Structure 1
Amino acid sequence: MSAIVSLVLLVAVLAFAMIRPRGLPEALVAVPAAGVVLLLGLVPPRLAVDRVLALLPTIGFLAAILLLSFLAGTEGVFTWLGDRVAVACRGRPRRLLALTFAAAAGTTAVLSLDATVVLLTPVVFATATRLRLRAKPHVYACTHLANSASTLLPVSNLTNLLAFSASGLSFAGFTALMALPWLVTIAIELAVFVRFFATDLTGRSDVPSPEPGPAPVFALVVLGLTLAGFAAGPLAGVEPAVVAAVAALVLAVRALARRTARPWRLVTEANPLLCLFVLGLAIVVEAVSEHLLGDVLRALLPDGEGLGELLLAALVAAVLANLVNNLPATLILVSALGPHPAAGVLLAVLLGVNIGPNATYLGSLATLLWRRVLAGAGVTPTLREFLRLGAWTVPVSLAGAVLALWCGLALV
């Protein structure tokens, strides 16, 4: 009965988060569901408190990076980037696709996947439309790279942050091991996109490219220093959340002084309700892990770092992400792996929960958010095409990334 109740609560939370009737916040169901879990004793209160306290630095980072991404947008970073891409592509759709891959991969790595989905996707769509090129390959690139290009840095995805502390790796060590898988994934995805969207990437635009405006130097410098702070901060004992918060504070003060943003808008862009959703979801997921999936996953997940074992770990993670979404999947898998998992196995799991969600709409909340962004622009992607593209990209890119990870581990 405990397993059934836990699973029903998780399904209810995820279903509401995906549908979001009338745009209501995800926390509206997640927080009461967490309360039910505690009321029924499915998770001991002490354990729930420990989970919440452990997540607070991650939640703080999430709020800071969301605000930082918004402020970078108000500074014109993404508009400037879109103009530069439009000029550099010279009207050629394949070159535009390659440049979009570069922009989306860089944005995802530094500012996390939400910035790519919410802020870059509309710019890419507008750029392709302005050049009178077919926008489909380029906007699909945004959602795919929001997931698959989020493997590079511990700060690129909330899933990475949830697992980073258990990895036993430094910021630089994590990045070094994930750099080759990241590059391999992007290269494979680009090759598949060129083949899959061949008919959409023909011809050439004769529309004159817009003259890019002046570069948002101040914001770009702040973002550059932020990235350096992410790398150097751990050496001085400074958490990524602190680095992101300082950067967001600098741009927030500037925005308030220039009256380009109001105080209440800054609060809403930090999305405190999303943070509450993550905390509520963590408690519900703890119940599912304790009463249903924990033992199964502990039996399935390997503890060695051979190629076959890493492939198995990534496959289990990818399947689970597409069944219950990658955020709860990460929480469940990290709990199942225990406090001191082998670093290679944990990184393979992250490859699974980050690349695997490109297979279905359910795999990642970022994908659902991407659909809402496109719907706001009057574009509705088809489920059949999304699934077909996922079937082409996910197996080969996940296998290639795991192989690259195994090679990297062998060299350490």
Structure 2
Amino acid sequence: MHLDAAAGLLVLAGVLGFAVARPRGLPEAVAAVPGAALVVAFGLVSWSQVRDEVVALAPTVGFLAAVLVLAHLADEHGVFGYAGEVIGGLSRGSPRRLLRLVFVLASIVTAVLSLDATVVLLTPVLLSTATRIGVRPRPHLYACGHLANTASLLLPVSNLTNLLAFDASGLSFTRFAALMAAPWLAVVAVEYAVLRRVFAADLGTPAPATTPAATPRTPPPWYAIGVLAATLAGFALSEPIGVHPAWIAAAGAIGLAVPRLTSTPAAEARRLVSAANLPFGAFVFALGVVVLAVRAGPVGDAVDHLVPGHAGLLGMLGAAVLAAVLANLVNNLPATLMLVPLVAHQPGLVLAVLLGVNIGPNLTYVGSLATLLWRQVLHSRDHPPGAGEFLRLGALTVPACLLAGVATLWASLRVF
């Protein structure tokens, strides 16, 4: 049994190490799929368990692919560029005003289009916006990186971790959002207070006297904005009739794709397939299989003993802290896959785990793949974040956000 546990942990470490390093830019699935094959070959996971895990994850992976395409098409329609122009103009050269606008925009984008849209699409736009109006970009870039994790608490569709836990929570879409609204606002407020203080020097340096006009240079992409609004409404309205959010996201993506497919259908179809990031979907499936091997052994038993058995204030705080620690040890996706089955159908504990796996990754680079991707985006644009600065900011925000999030979640459960 101990040898099996060691083998499972070794495979998981190899898969995560490859995902963090991504040598030569290879996709995470290059290591994860062989890793899943190894745990099956070693007899750590049976074929029936593999089948059950793939079936359970399929709707979640399908939604992930659809929302990635949706966000890509929103960008192609100019939604992110237009939003950058709007907040750049509204800031009127004030770094502090721009930071407030960035917090509003990044929180909404993360909640509605998922954290990947904030990292991959919004971060470069905000870098360009800050540079164009002449303010220091650091506070606004760190805001994007942190809010990609913490602002993903609001909706089941905001984060892959939320989707993995949503069914286990037993909550409806609207009840999930109602319970998480107060924690979402609380942790975003904490992030804003800390970042404003930490980056006081940057925010105290105003832009040059000549700043762009407040009026955007491009017309609003009303069609795309309308499709996104309809998609968000569809997420809330579809559940009572038993329609999975993946179908709503796919419908929204089709709505945005149709105008573009009429001109160069073959080339656009290839871009859409690329935007769906199918290799990452394969990574999620394979990671689920590898985590099964770890969860079934002594490590899973040890984690099980640490999980609180009640959803009181202290129990939820314990679950959130455990989830945050585990996210920084093994990444938040494996942490979610390990913890959610242990707290399934205890809504308070499920949501507390989500607080931990979504807030915790702001402490270290390895906490979430989104954080690693954010770092890669900034490196590719010659604005690499400092490791020491990232850790210091995480140490200031993560404990405070966990406390604020758990306290407001506990209050929300009492109210609702």
Q: Shorter-chain-normalised TM-score: which range? A: over 0.9
| Number of equivalences | 410
The partner residue of 1:33 within 29, 35, 41 is 35
Q: Verify: 1:207 aligned to 2:213, yes or no.
A: no
**Other-structure match for 2:226:** 221
Matched residue, 2:301: 295
Which residue is 1:263 aligned to? 269
Of 114, 118, 121 in structure 2, the residue corresponding to residue 119 of structure 1 is 121
Contact 2:168–2:341, Cα closer than 8 Å, also in 1: no
Counterpart position of 2:409:
405
Alignment correspondent of 1:165: 167
Give the equivalent residue in structure 1 for 2:355. 351
- Is structure 2 residue 394 aligned with structure 1 residue 385? no
Match of 2:8 in 1: 6
CA–CA separation in structure 2 for the residues paired with 1:276 and 1:252 = 24
Deviation at residue 259 of structure 1 after TM alignment: 4.0
C-alpha displacement of 1:404: 0.1
Report the TM-score, using the length of structure 1 for normalisation: 0.98
Q: CA deviation at 1:254?
A: 1.6
Equivalent of residue 230 in structure 1, options 220, 223, 235: 235
2:131, 2:137 within 8 Å by CA — same for their partners in 1? yes
Q: Tell me if the contact between 1:294 and 1:335 (Cα under 8 Å) persists in the aligned partners.
A: no
Question: SS where residue 297 of structure 2 aligns?
Answer: helix
Quote the Cα distance in structure 2 between the aligned partners of 1:400 and 1:115.
Answer: 26
Q: What displacement does 1:303 show?
A: 2.4
Counterpart-to-counterpart distance in 2, 1:62 and 1:292: 31
Tell me what 2:50 maps to. Answer: 48
CA contact (8 A) 2:106 2:147 kept: yes
Match of 1:24 in 2: 26
**C-alpha separation in 1, matches of 2:210 and 2:40:** 60
Number of the residue aligned with 1:322: 328
Partners of 1:43 and 1:51 in 2: how far apart? 11
Paired residue type of 1:318:
A
Residue 405 of structure 1 aligns to a residue in which SS? helix
For residue 258 of structure 1, report the CA deviation from its aligned partner: 4.1
- Contact kept? 2:155, 2:173, Cα under 8 Å: yes
Structure 1 residues 214-241: Cα deviation after superposition (integer angstroms, max 9, x where no partner): 1000000000000000000101111000
Any conservation in 1 of the 2:190–2:400 contact (CA below 8 Å)? yes
- Structure 1 residue 203: deviation in Å? 2.9
Aligned to 1:279: 285
Is 1:246 matched with 2:251?
yes
TM-score (norm. length: structure 2): 0.97
CA contact (8 A) 2:323 2:357 kept: yes
Runs of 4+ aligned residues of structure 1 deviating over 3 Å after TM superposition are 258-261
Q: Distance in 2 between matches of 1:170 and 1:81?
A: 31
Q: Give the C-alpha shift of residue 336 in structure 1.
A: 2.7
Which amino acid is 1:356 matched to? G
Equivalents in 1 of 2:262, 2:76: separation in Å?
A: 13
| Alignment pair present for 1:184 and 2:194 | no
Q: Secondary structure at the match of 2:154?
A: coil
SS of aligned partner of 2:135: coil
Deviation digits for residues 160-189 of structure 1 (CA, Å, limit 9, x no counterpart):
000000001000000000000000001111
Distance (whole Å) between structure 1 residues aligned to residue 335 and residue 311 of structure 2 = 21
Q: Counterpart amino acid of 2:342?
A: A
Specify the code of the residue in structure 2 equivalent to 1:268. Answer: S
Find the counterpart in structure 1 of residue 315 from structure 2.
309
* Superimposed CA distance per residue, residues 29-49 of structure 1 (whole angstroms, 9 cap, x where no aligned partner): 100110011111101111111
Distance 1:57 1:341 in 2: 19
| 2:89 corresponds to | 87
Equivalent residue number for residue 364 of structure 2: 360
Alpha-carbon contact 1:320-1:329 (below 8 Å) kept = yes
Between the aligned partners of 1:378 and 1:203, the Cα distance in structure 2 is: 21
SS at match of 1:66: helix
**Structure 1 residue 293, shift from structure 2 partner:** 2.3
1:120 to partner: Cα distance = 0.1
- Residue by residue over 1:308-346, the C-alpha shift from the partner in whole angstroms, topping out at 9 and shown as x without a partner, is 111000000000000000011100111333xx4310011
Shift of 1:292: 3.4
Separation in 1, partners of 2:379, 2:101: 24
Per-residue CA deviation, residues 228-271 of structure 1 (Å, 9 max, x unaligned), is 00000101111000000111112122221244962111111101
